[in-house]
Amino acid sequence: MKNITAPSAVAKNTATLLITCPDRKGIVAAIADFLFQHNANILHADQHQDAENNLFLMRVEWDLAGFSFDPAHFSQHFAEVSKRFNMEWQLKLSQKPLRVAIMVSQYDHCLADLLHRHKNGELVCDIPLIISNHRDTEALAKFYGVDFQYIPVTKDNKAEAEAQQFALFAKYEIDLIVLARYMQILSPDFVARFPKKIINIHHSFLPAFIGARPYHRAFERGVKLIGATSHYVSEVLDEGPIIEQGIDRISHRDQVEDLIQKGRDLERVVLSKAVRWHIESRILLYANKTVIFD
Reference 32, options 20, 47, 22, 21; nearest CA is 47
Per-residue binder mask for a copy of itself (CB under 8 A), 10-39, x = binder: ---------------xx-xx--xx-xx--x
Reference 103, options 186, 171, 160; nearest CA is 186
Q: Which of 162, 244, 267, 280 binds a copy of itself (CB under 8 A)?
A: 244
Calculate the alpha carbon distances from 32 to 18, 151, 175, 215, 225 in Å. 14, 49, 29, 48, 44
Among positions 141-200, residues that touch a copy of itself (CB under 8 A) are 143
Find the shortest distance in angstroms from Cβ 170 to a copy of itself: 30
Q: Which is nearer to a copy of itself, 53 or 75 (CB)?
A: 53
Find the shortest distance in angstroms from Cβ 174 to a copy of itself: 25
Q: Which of 81, 91, 208, 237 binds a copy of itself (CB under 8 A)?
A: 208
Bridge pairing between strands 176-179 and 14-22: unpaired
Greatest Cα pair distance, the chain, in angstroms, is 63
Element housing 84 (H / E):
helix 74-84
Find the shortest distance in angstroms from Cβ 171 to a copy of itself: 27
Find the shortest distance in angstroms from Cβ 160 to a copy of itself: 26
Among positions 109-128, residues that touch a copy of itself (CB under 8 A) are 109, 112, 116, 120, 122
Reference 23, options 49, 46, 45; nearest CA is 49
Look up 63 and say whether it is catalytic. no
Q: Which is nearer to a copy of itself, 39 or 187 (CB)?
A: 39
CB under 8 A: which stretch of 68-76, 172-180, 186-194, 205-213 binds a copy of itself?
Answer: 205-213
Q: Which of 45, 64, 168, 183 binds a copy of itself (CB under 8 A)?
A: 45
Calculate the alpha carbon distances from 143 to 115, 120, 137 in Å. 10, 14, 10
73 makes contact with a copy of itself (CB under 8 A): no
Find the shortest distance in angstroms from Cβ 189 to a copy of itself: 26
How far apart are alpha carbons 14 and 92 in whole angstroms? 8
List the catalytic residue out of 108, 113, 175, 238: 238
Among positions 214-243, residues that touch a copy of itself (CB under 8 A) are 221-225, 227, 241-243
Element housing 102 (H / E):
strand 99-104
**CB atoms near residue 127 (< 10 Å):** 26
Annotated catalytic residues are 238
